[in-house]
Structure 1
Amino acid sequence: MNTHLKTYHPYVSPFDPCKPMLEKKYSTPPHLYMGFQPPNLPQFSPFEALKAGTLWKDFYDPWYGPNEIAEGGIPS
């Protein structure tokens, strides 16, 4: 799995009174895929790093609301 966005199919009970959600999505942080932090990673400028929440571009993981993900994936 190369993407940070994962999906799964939860159990749907035949007795559930609510409309079932057949597929659920969640995001995994990028640091899970790096064993050690390699040297000389590209960095944001100090101002961009404050907005992004991290100094290193490889660790940047924006958060998207549930409606944004449901409307066709992660927006560019």
Structure 2
Amino acid sequence: MFTQQKVYYPYVSPHDPCTPIRQKFYQTPPELYLGFQPPGLPQYPAREALHRGTLWPALYSPYGEPHRGDH
């Protein structure tokens, strides 16, 4: 199973004067993993779709705080 949240570990120089950030987080959109939208995908009810910002659960992506690694 894929995960929308990714992490990478940037190079940390021994001569860097700042406190290093050892992990950086980012999120990828679910459309990257869907390809073509197949017919007959499940749909949210209208009120819930408005709340979530999409009609299809497969395209829903919760927003966390990527700098903390939340989901």
1:27-46 Cα shifts (integer Å, max 9, x gaps): 11111011100111111111
Structure 2, unaligned runs of 5 or more: none
1:17 Cα shift?
1.8
- The runs of 4+ residues in structure 1 deviating greater than 4 Å are none
TM value normalised by structure 1: 0.81
Q: How does 1:1-76 map to 2 (within 5 A)?
A: 2-65=2-65, 66-67=67-68, 69=69, 73-74=70-71
Once the two structures are aligned, what percentage of the paired residues are identical?
A: 53
Structure having the larger proportion of residues in helix: 1
Measure, in 2, the Cα distance between the counterparts of 1:51 and 1:16: 44
1:15 Cα shift?
2.4
What is the Cα-based RMSD across aligned positions, in Å? 1.5
TM value normalised by structure 2: 0.85
Pick 1 or 2: higher relative contact order, CA cutoff 8 A, min separation 6. 2
1:14 Cα shift?
2.1
Measure, in 2, the Cα distance between the counterparts of 1:18 and 1:41: 48
Structure 1, unaligned runs of 5 or more: none
